[in-house]
Structure 1
C-alpha cells in the first residue's frame, strides 16, 4: 500500500466533474509493458488513485476524468522516454496537489518497475484567493492574486 500523507478531493469546475462518465478513467500503469503499449514520447495527464495505481490519459484530458471523478493521492503531468519517467509534475488545477504528494507518485512508479527522478521535475504551488476565490499558481514566491491583487496566504 502506498505511503499516504494526504488525499486530494477534486476542487475544479463542477461542469468538468459533471462530464465524467462512470467506469471511464485513465489507463493503469502497473508495469513496463503498460508503458510500452500506451506511451509515446509526449506528456500525459496522470493521477495516483487511492489504491496507489498510476493512471494516465492523453495530456488534453482532465485529471478528474482520469480519476473517474474520485479523490486521488496525486495528480499532474508525466512524460516517459522508453520505460523511464523523464519528467513529472504536480500540475493539476483540478486537485491542486502539494509537493508532499511526491511519495505517492514515487511509490506508484516504483511498483510499476520504472526508472524515475528523485522528485518532481517541476513543482507547482497553488493558492485560492480569499478575496475573489480564484485559483492562483504561485510563481517566483510571489503570493499576490493575479485577478484582484490581494495578498495570498503563503502557507
Structure 2
C-alpha cells in the first residue's frame, strides 16, 4: 500500500527525484504515493479510491510543492472531476498545489472490442476497432 502523505514532512523520507510518483486518494481522503512504476491498484491496497494518477513534488523556498499532477491511471480511470478530492487531500496536508490537473485524461472502454482508450481531442473513436466511444 502507498505511503500516506499527511504533511510535507512525509515527503522528506521519500526522496523525490526527477520522476513523478503514482498516487491515489483513499476513501478517507488521504493522499498515498508509491514509486511511479507501481500500479495504482497496488498503491491502494486493492481498495476503491476517490482519485488516482501521477504526482511530482519539488522543493521551492524550503517547502515541498506539487509541480505536476494528473489523473493518469488506467487501473482506476478517474475522470477530471476527481480533482477536488486531490486538492482536498493536498490542502489538508498543507502542500501547495496547482489550481487543477496539469494534465487531465478522459478514459473510455469500447463497447465493441472492450479495449480501454484514452480520448484525445474529444475524438470518441476506439483506436483499436474504430467503434464509437461514449461521450459520457
- TM-score normalised by structure 2 residue count: 0.94
Which residue in 2 is equivalent to 1:6?
Answer: none
Gaps of 5+ in 2: none
Q: Which runs of 4+ in 1 moved over 6 A?
A: none
Matches within 5 A, 1:50-69: 50-69=27-46
Asked which structure has the greater RCO (Cα within 8 Å, sep 6+), the reply is 1
User: Whose strand proportion is higher, 1 or 2?
Assistant: 2
Displacement of 1:59: 0.2
Which residue in 2 is equivalent to 1:137?
Answer: 118
Residue 23 of structure 2 corresponds to residue 46 of structure 1: yes
Q: Contact 1:27–1:55 (CA<8 Å) still a contact in 2?
A: yes
In the comparison of the two structures, how many residue pairs are matched?
131
Which residue in 2 is equivalent to 1:9?
Answer: none
Displacement of 1:141: 1.1
Q: Contact 1:39–1:80 (CA<8 Å) still a contact in 2?
A: no
Is the deviation greater in 105-114 or in 30-39? 30-39
Q: Give the distance between the partners of 1:63 and 1:140, measured in 2 at CA.
A: 25
- TM-score normalised by structure 1 residue count: 0.83
Which residue in 1 is equivalent to 2:69?
Answer: 88
Which residue in 1 is equivalent to 2:13?
Answer: 37
Gaps of 5+ in 1: 1-24
Which residue in 2 is equivalent to 1:128?
Answer: 109
Which residue in 1 is equivalent to 2:55?
Answer: 78
SS in 2 for 1:111: helix
